[in-house]
Amino acid sequence: MRSVGHNGGVRPTERSTSQDIPVAISRRFPARLTASLALALAASLTLAACGGHGDAPAKKEGGASRQTVSAATAASVALPRTVVASGTVSAWEEVPVGAETGGLTATALYVDEGSYVRQGQPLVQMNDVLLRAQLRQQQAAVQTAEANAARDDAALARAQELKQRGFLSQASLDAALADQRASAAGLASARASLAETQTRLSQATIRAPVSGLIISRSVTKGQIIAAGTELFRMVRDGRLELDAQVPETELPLIRAGQSATITSSQAGPTTGTVRIVTPEVDPQTRLGLARISLAPGSGLKPGMFARAAIEAGARPATVVPTDAVLYRSNKAGVFVLNPDASVRFTPVTVLSRRDDQTSVDGVAVGARVVVAGAGFLNDGDKVTVAAPRPAAAAPVAAPAAPAPAQK
């Protein structure tokens, strides 16, 4: 710019700076306006100085690099459905063993708790000396009745012959017939008494009514046994079952014949089969009962606690890779890819989980979800998909193939 000298001439000077402007203004304007003008001019210069940087964030946002991720497609597969229940081991059928005859002393015990017996095997022997004496007496009475019956039969035959010849009256024939009938009745009574004594004698030896396992004994040697007293309790055929308590919501899934895996902390794992599902639900606990027959040799005992995993068939389910499921604010979810390459966090409900895939509810079949890199995303971010991942497959015995390498 140019300046005017003392002699009125014009001479070139150096370019004025921002610090010189307030000084020049103060020389030409009154002092009241000097401060206001100086502040306004300083603000304008500041904005002008920063104007070159105002477009920097826009340029950065417009040219920001997208995160590269891998994606997979949610698929519908048939997954095995398992119902888990627990309960107490009990006998399939408990059989109490008691004494049919009473007043006799136990003289011998042949079995103890834990013994497996066959049907008809002796368990207890009671004192039968008196019964054997009665048996001999009844046998003698039968022999006497047989002799009397034979005599009266012969007398009746002679009376009938004499009556036909006219040498005997009808009254005498009737008397012979009555004697014969009385002796026959006496013989039948003696034989019945003998059979009763024989039955009581056989009952003096208590035998196993069925084959099975003795689980309790309540008789000792020398004890006078009363009729009807329970002496043993046994498990019929040694068969045990688990009374599994099933929630009422899962009870319709259980059917007779379904297989189950039984585990217990007191014994090793074993297998079983659902025998019956009771039609009643406890109104207090809302639990039903599924009786599961246990395999022989399970090592479980009545009264033990055990758990059962019942295979309730297969059901269609939506599965995604397990790595795609994240937890935000203690809620499970997946990042779903939108058509514009942005992602949105979709909450899901985890139904079952495996190492390679997870069954979820809340994602539509066919939706593409982010797998690798999902943990670094936020809702609304835009991504670049490196390579499509094949749809989740049904569970197989062999381990799943590794995921494709990320670019």
pLDDT in tens, 278-322: 888 989 999 999 999 999 888 888 889 999 999 887 778 888 988
pLDDT, mean of residues 110-120: 93
% of the chain at pLDDT higher than 70: 79
- pTM for the structure as a whole: 0.55
Q: What is the pLDDT of residue 8?
A: 43
Where does the pLDDT of residue 223 fall: very low under 50, low under 70, confident under 90, or very high at 90 and above?
very high
Residue 366 has pLDDT above 90, yes or no: no
Q: What is the pLDDT of residue 47?
A: 38
Assess if CATH 3.40.50.300 describes domain 84-92+239-314. Answer: no
Q: Can you tell me which residue has the tokens 């994240």?
A: 326
Q: Which of the residue ranges 1-5, 224-228, 343-347 would you say has the lowest mean pLDDT?
A: 1-5
Residue 45 has pLDDT above 80, yes or no: no
Assess if CATH 3.90.1150.10 describes domain 67-77+316-389. Answer: no
Where does the pLDDT of residue 65 fall: very low under 50, low under 70, confident under 90, or very high at 90 and above?
low
Residue 78 and residue 315 in contact, taking contact as beta carbons nearer than 8 Å: yes
What does the domain layout of the chain look like in residue ranges? 2-45, 67-77+316-389, 84-92+239-314, 95-213
% of the chain at pLDDT higher than 90: 37
Amino acid at 110: Y
pLDDT, mean of residues 98-106: 91
